[in-house]
Structure 1
Amino acid sequence: MPVAVVIDQPVADFQAQATSGVSVSLAALRGQQVLIYFYPKDSTPGCTTEGQGFRDRYADFQAANTLIFGVSRDSLKSHENFKCKQAFPFELISDKDEALCQLFDVIKLKKLYGKEYLGVDRSTFLIDKDGVLRQEWRGVKVPGHVDATLAAAQALHKD
């Protein structure tokens, strides 16, 4: 199992299945910046709002040579429905086996109504065109997050 990601270090290559029948490999994305955002569950209020924010600024991310991928443990079928309903122009990766969640260390102990469970900690990672992790946001609050990640992507693209 690869070691969890570290800022300013290369991210281990991975293979993952995404919507639209796409197979995502970090090695195949070299030359482009990659923004990977982890979210808890398709079609829930916070996750929908966050995805809509990335959707609405998608052209700005493209202008900064940045691909966006959303990741959760939901099935590809659930992802396809969510992507279609929200008209997301980017792919959603299904991480049912939690391989990416483990690589990016986003599974955390959470509490809901007094019950503890292991869930996905809303987190975002910006990887440069050489496959090096340049920035991470953990424990993300949705308001203002898309703008913060876009500013970082634009600054990195200028370097």
Structure 2
Amino acid sequence: MDTTRITPFTAAATSGESITLPQGLTVLYFYPKDNTPGCTNEAMAFRDLHPQFLAASARILGVSRDSLKSHENFRVKHELPFELISDPDETVCNLFGVMKLKNMYGKQVRGIERSTFVINSDGDILREWRGLKVPGHAEEVLTFVKSL
């Protein structure tokens, strides 16, 4: 299997943290917008499985273009135990190629394609999911992480 290696990066995250990747086994999930139904359901699914991800030595990080303030409110409101990366200039999104033209109410808009990547400590992408559906996704990612 060919693996893709990510370009190392550091980004601003909630709790005043700077997140650097690669660093340990990481589940990096990209989502369109804080406090929207699908994104909230996805965040809560990862939240509910968080102890099992930790038991498998994997950390979870969410990424969207929302501001740190929006992320912090989203994180507190839904009791998310993991950090959220703010990527307003799309630097991280572009590294992973998740910006796409999407149809919204009959108009084409540029936005984040819901995607998840599992990255090891060397920066290798071990698995990726693109254009995914939320129901069952966090469980599928956890099954993969546990198989490593």
- TM-score bin (small chain): over 0.9
Partner of 2:21: 26
Q: TM-score, normalised by structure 1?
A: 0.90
Does 2:87 match 1:89? Answer: no
What is the count of residue pairs matched by the alignment?
147
Match of 1:103 among 90, 95, 105: 95
Unaligned runs of 5+ in 1: 1-6
The Cα offsets for residues 67-120 of structure 1, whole Å up to 9 and x where unpaired, read as 100000000000000000000000000000100110000000001111111010
Does 2:67 match 1:75? Answer: yes
Query: Which deviates more, 126-135 or 138-147?
Result: 126-135
Instruction: Please provide the CA RMSD for this pair.
Output: 0.9
Unaligned runs of 5+ in 2: none
Partner of 2:137: 145
Structure with the largest fraction of strand:
2
Partner of 2:3: 8
Match of 2:47 among 45, 55, 73: 55
Q: TM-score, normalised by structure 2?
A: 0.97
- After TM superposition, where is structure 1 displaced by more than 4 Å over at least 4 residues in a row? none
Structure 1 vs Structure 2: percent identity of aligned residues?
54
